[in-house]
Structure 1
Amino acid sequence: MSVTGAVGRALLASIFIKSGVDHLQNPAPIVRAAKGAEIPQPELAVKVNSAVMVGAGTLLALGVAPRLAATALAVSLVPTTVIGHPFWDREGRERQHQQTHFMKNLALFGALLAVGSRS
């Protein structure tokens, strides 16, 4: 892979690694959201999702099994996006804020699809 491709992959992975570490260190707000969405065993679900983000993000950044890593990250991004950014339930500035994050996650999903299809 080219240098620009490797740098791009690492930059894409960085948000997942950082978010995963943050969620492992401070899971309470994410667990509350998971409970609100009636996710079974929310504490475990948050730990697993966070571990996937750190592990698959690291693999993607290093270029190890990038297709598998991108797929794992894309799958983990779906519940994160739907549960974490329900703009349809909000109004005003909060709705705009959540919609922006929802769209950002859709863009990340698209980037993961592109990376995964090239590896």
Structure 2
Amino acid sequence: MSVTGFIGRVLLSSIFIKSGLDHLENPDPIVRAAKGAEIPEPELAVKANSAVMVGAGALLALGIAPRLASTALAVSLVPTTVIGHPFWDKQGQERQHQQIHFMKNLALFGALLAIGSRK
């Protein structure tokens, strides 16, 4: 494993670990968004998604099962992105703000796909 590959995995995984821990510590805003999107069992869904982010993020950072970890993180990004950043429902500055976050998540998704496709 190269040093740059290690650093890249650690940096990429850091956003998932931090977000997952934040959502476990303060789940209310995320649970409200999940309820608004009519997600069944929103509290459980938020806890499960947050646990995947922390667990798979740690595995990815450590280089343990990176294909599985990156796949799990990519899957967790789908509801996070669609529910958390619905720019199509917003106007003005809020639309721009949400669109930036939506696009950032697409970039993260792409990075995870790249890692998951490595041998």
Measured on the aligned residues, the alpha-carbon RMSD in Å equals 0.5
**Residue aligning to 1:11:** 11
**Residue aligning to 2:50:** 50
Q: Percent identity?
A: 85
List gaps (5 residues or longer) in structure 1: none
With structure 2 as the length reference, what TM-score do the two structures score? 0.99
**Residue aligning to 1:37:** 37
Q: What SS is found at the alignment partner of 1:40?
A: coil
**Residue aligning to 2:93:** 93
Counterpart AA for 1:64: I
1:95 shift after superposition: 0.1
1:105 shift after superposition: 0.1
Q: What SS is found at the alignment partner of 2:64?
A: coil
Q: What SS is found at the alignment partner of 1:4?
A: helix
**Residue aligning to 1:2:** 2
Aligned length: 119
Which consecutive aligned stretches of 4+ in structure 1 deviate over 3 angstroms post-superposition?
none
Pair 1:76 & 2:76 matched: yes
With structure 1 as the length reference, what TM-score do the two structures score? 0.99
